Structure 1
Amino acid sequence: MRAAGLSRKGVLFDVDGTLVDSAYIHTMAWWQAFRQSGFDVPMARIHRCVGMGGARLVDHLLPDGRDTAVDEDVLAAHSGIFGTYWPSLRPLDGARDLLAQCCESGLAVALASSARDQDLKALRSSLAADSFIDAATSANDAKESKPEPDILVAALRAVGIEASDAVYVGDAVWDVYAAARLDIPTIGLTCGGTSEAELREAGAVEVYAGPRDLLDNLRDSAIGRLLAG
């Protein structure tokens, strides 16, 4: 039990590509959605943008001079295609155990996701870790998506902690950029397909291979230092 007078500390987690092995599923779903609207966008370009909100990703990848009415078609197609993969969603190794350890250590645990409500529900179902999660955000909780920090602000408010008492865990450079705007240190995970070099260049304070690797090194990580402090 936390002593009276001490503020609670917490860990915010991205979900897609960080806790659930879905980064490349999103890449495929976006690729198919673009093709349905007549745009041939290379998967490599798409993957580098996964982690942005959907509307921002579409605007970033499609030509400037397009009829922007097509954007809604692409977003709707991605939603439908990704939904077909819900039964295949699987947590990354160690994800549930990592959430459990953070919770049992007395930290507030929040999922800071920009996924749609229905997708977040499917992602949480695959994790089977709701008893270790204090709060979760979705696209409905933020005006602007990553790399803007709105999602993180919403997650902090949901668990009642200050940015100075938090650590963020994510797999994309967009996660790192968003957290940096609030001066929240980010632990990067390469399991979403972004390299250690890219994550460190973006500003990640540490990089691990995935949830299991972070869990195995938790005491010496930024999360461990948060607990010790």
Structure 2
Amino acid sequence: MDRAALFDVDGTLTDTNHLHITSWWEALRQAGHHVPMHAVHRAIGLPGEDLLDHLLGEDRDHSGDARLSAGHDTLYATYFDRLPAFESAAELLGALSKAGWKVLLVTSATDRELKALRQAIGAEDAITDTATSDDVEQGKPAPDPVRQALELAEVPSGRAVYVGDSVWDMKAACRAGVAAVGLLCGGIPGADLEEAGAVAVYRDPADLLACLGDSPFSWVPA
């Protein structure tokens, strides 16, 4: 049977969380919302509308949401030509692909963002497919994006491993019945990732690659 390696992108394979934080903070500031950056950081990984609900509250005037999201997208786009991938991100995806895993990206990124992120990672030959929040009714921490990835891979939840950097990633994977692996490179403490359901935590893609033979990926037989 096939196996699926599911990966979040921002903060997991690419060192882009703080670029998102700055872009959201500035878009919010320009609209008159004073939200501390640490609060924005904790919300990264949620789809745009859910991120704004998390930061500004659901019982609010939503008429400015499109402008806020557009502001973030415009600011973040200025980094597209220099988005940094984490060390060994491409090698990790390549190693899993060569070992017979279907490698899928599970992300809230827009199509333009995703194109730039994939170019930054540089592992096109290893990537089987992508599941985005546009494909489902609810984004992370709902299980919908992970389940969508499983459907694309045609793999049951017990034959998959999900790697992410946020509590939203861990919760989405657990709710979909998939083993969740946390990475610290997104800036979220390991204890928080474990509390959200991570079965193992590594520093970054390079650390996971070095430990691959003893990681949760080794729990799923070929």
TM-score, normalised to structure 1, is 0.94
Match of 2:68 in 1: 74
Aligned match of 1:189 in 183, 190, 202?
183
Aligned position for 1:201: 195
Counterpart code for 2:143: P
Q: Which runs of 5+ in 1 are unaligned?
A: 1-6
| Range that drifts further, 150-159 or 38-47 | 150-159
Aligned length: 222
Q: Which amino acid aligns with 1:143?
A: E
Q: Match of 2:9, as an amino acid? A: V
Q: State the shift of 1:138 in Å.
A: 2.1
Q: What is the Cα deviation at residue 139 of structure 1?
A: 2.7
Whether contact under 8 Å (1:141, 1:151) holds in the other structure is yes
- The residue number in structure 2 matching 1:31 is 25
CA distance in structure 1 between the partners assigned to 2:178 and 2:59 by the alignment: 37
Identity %: 41
Which of 47, 58, 65 is the matching residue for 2:52? Answer: 58
Q: 1:22 aligns with which of 6, 12, 16?
A: 16
Are residue 222 (structure 1) and residue 216 (structure 2) matched?
yes
> How many Å apart are 1:64 and its aligned residue?
4.7
The Cα offsets for residues 169-207 of structure 1, whole Å up to 9 and x where unpaired, read as 000000000011111111100000001111111110000
Structure 1 residue 125 corresponds to structure 2 residue 104: no
SS in 1 for 2:201: strand
What does the per-residue CA deviation read over 1:97-117, in whole Å, with 9 as the maximum and x for residues that have no partner? 000000000011100111111
Specify whether residues 14 and 113 from structure 1 end up closer, same or farther in structure 2 by C-alpha distance, changes over 3 A only.
same
In the TM superposition, 1:127-146 aligns within 5 A as: 127-146=121-140
Secondary structure at the counterpart of residue 161 of structure 2: strand
Structure 1 residues 119-160: Cα deviation after superposition (integer angstroms, max 9, x where no partner): 111100111111000001223212111101111111111121
The Cα offsets for residues 46-105 of structure 1, whole Å up to 9 and x where unpaired, read as 000101111100111114553210111111111111111111201101100000000000
Tell me how far apart the structure 1 counterparts of residues 45 and 128 of structure 2 sit (CA, whole Å): 22
2:102 partner amino acid: A
Q: Deviations over 1:23-66 (max 9, x none)?
A: 11110110011011110100000000101111100111114553
Rounded to whole Å, the distance in 2 between the matches of 1:64 and 1:153 is 26
CA distance in 2, matches of 1:100, 1:202: 28
Task: Report the Cα distance in structure 2 between the residues aligned to 1:124 and 1:142, rounded to whole angstroms.
Answer: 21
Q: 1:24–1:47: 8 Å Cα contact kept in structure 2?
A: yes
Q: Is the 8 A contact 1:93 1:211 kept in 2?
A: yes
2:39 corresponds to 1:41: no
CA contact (8 A) 1:219 1:225 kept: no
Is structure 2 residue 174 aligned with structure 1 residue 180? yes
Quick one: distance in 1 between partners of 2:135 and 2:124?
A: 19
Q: Do 1:170 and 1:187's aligned partners in 2 also have CA atoms closer than 8 Å?
A: yes
Q: Say whether residues 1:166 and 2:128 are aligned partners.
A: no
* Local SS of the residue matching 1:134: strand
